[in-house]
Amino acid sequence: MNKYVRGFIAGSMMGIAAGILFMPQRNGMKKKVLNDGKNIVGSAAQMMADMITDLKQNK
């Protein structure tokens, strides 16, 4: 994978983490965002693993 794409993904993840860390606690919104985020991260990790597998097979 291109190093610029990896840097973009890493920077995005760090920005999201910082946003969640500094998010104010309002009506359980932070817990909802964290729970939904775990599902999204799991899905994204699976998609990345599939993409890497496909790239290795196409070489």
Which range marks the domain in which residue 27 is found? Answer: 3-58
**What's the Rg (C-alpha) of the chain?**
15
Mean pLDDT value across residues 31-57: 81
Which residues, 6+ apart, have CB-to-CB distance to 29 below 8 Å? 23
The tally of domains found in the chain comes to 1
pTM, two decimal places: 0.44
Q: Which tokens hold the place of 50?
A: 């599939």
User: Helix or strand or coil: residue 22?
Assistant: coil
**What would the pLDDT profile of 4-42 be if each residue is shown by its tens digit?**
888 888 888 888 888 877 877 776 777 777 778 778 878
Distance CA 24, CA 6 (A): 29
Confidence category of residue 1, pLDDT binned at 50, 70, 90: low
